[in-house]
Amino acid sequence: MTTMQQVTASAVSGKRLSSIDVLRGFTLAVMILVNTAGEWDHAYWPLKHSVWNGCTPTDLVFPTFLFLTGTSLVFSFRSRLARGVGKRELLLHTLQRSVILFLIGVVLNGLPFFPLSTLRIYGVLQRIALCYLCASALYLWNRRPAFLLSVTALLLVGYWVMMRWIPLPGGMLPVRDLPILDPVRNWVAIIDRWMLPGRLYEGTRDPEGLLSTLPAIATVLLGVLTGLWLQTQRTIQEKSRWMLIAGTALIAGGEMWNIWFPINKKLWTSSYVLFAAGIALVALALCTWLIKDDGTAGRWSYPWRVFGTNAITAYVISEVLAIIIYVVHVPGSRPPITLKGYIFTHFFASVFPPGMDSLLFAIAFVAVCFVPVWILYQRRIFIKI
């Protein structure tokens, strides 16, 4: 079950936490935006995922959220450890949160008809749950940056070796016999088809597959390392400067690795981890630098703080609302049309040109999702799992 906690504004303020909340809220808002384009064929390219190799702005949203999950858990665990909560209790609570989050994701996949024979098990919330659990366990086991950095490197290099050098069924070897990231013939897709046939998002593969969760854990661990850096006694200016430098280095490293192991969001390749984490780190550095020294942010940050302090709640609201407008049909319409189709056709497509109509529909959808989260924020209600 989820619990509702009423807390004061100071509990979610503080300079460093504010910068994380602001960036997380902005990321969540963009996630909702790119998930609900009015019409996909004419949507602007930044609102679409890359078809395969490569990266669009949309492809940066999910890894940024995972990165910030790692940064946030450092602050959360440090606070609770300081209050005397034991590591075992923290780990058990983390396990509980992860299970609940995973199950919420599966339920959202099944709405509204729950086709049990083809119900998708993987998903966004499911990946967050698994990565959060693994990164939390590693952090509680050993908080030394050298250890966490070593695990991150092991995950990224090990994943590359597995995808590049282990022969596929039939003896085919990537690069020698087929492209290194063949869309169907790769270990991520093969394992998922073997484990969950008929339950994959794209039929022959799934963008949140099991094996590709390993490098996604590395994304969270890079966020954990950033959280540890933010807790040092250096000045905000120094922290921001070195985060900017480190982020630039990660971007360059991702681009370099891209030569041998292409940037690919659907397979969450190691080069993609470095590149996306670098973008997230640069964004967090700028956000940290922009937050005022008194721990408050300017008016520009208000909507992002609202989203950021109830991020999972906002995501669930957006998913449920999207399901409703995609499933409910307008009574008496001939031919039958969904509520989404009716709203888009009569209020956006009939007024604005292709592309712009899709963008404005998505912005309107984000605004509607903002309202219930804003009400919770005004009442100082922050829903925690």
Could you read off the pLDDT of 256-283 as tens digits, one per residue?
999 999 999 999 999 999 999 999 999 9
Give the pLDDT score at 5.
Answer: 40
Question: Given CA atoms 278, 283, 285, 286 in this order, what sign does their dihedral have?
Answer: positive
CA-nearest of 382, 222, 305, 310 to 20 is: 305
Q: What is the pLDDT of residues 292-344, one digit of tens each?
A: 645 456 778 899 999 999 999 999 999 999 999 999 999 887 888 999 999 99
The interaxial angle of helices 311-327 and 15-35, nearest 10 deg, is 10
Q: Which of 217-231, 256-270, 320-334, 369-383 has the lowest mean pLDDT?
A: 320-334
The string over 37-46, giving b where at least 16 C-beta atoms fall within 10 Å of a residue's C-beta and e elsewhere, is: bbbeeebeee
Peptide bond between residue 303 and the one before it cis (omega within 30 degrees of 0)? no
Alpha helix segments (H runs only) across the chain: 15-35, 61-82, 87-110, 124-141, 145-165, 187-195, 213-230, 236-257, 270-290, 302-308, 311-327, 339-344, 356-378
Q: Give the Cα separation of 171 and 352 in Å (integer).
A: 54
Residue 6's pLDDT band, with cuts at 50, 70 and 90, is: very low
Residue 163, number of CB atoms within 10 A of its CB: 23
**3-state DSSP assignment of residue 160:** helix
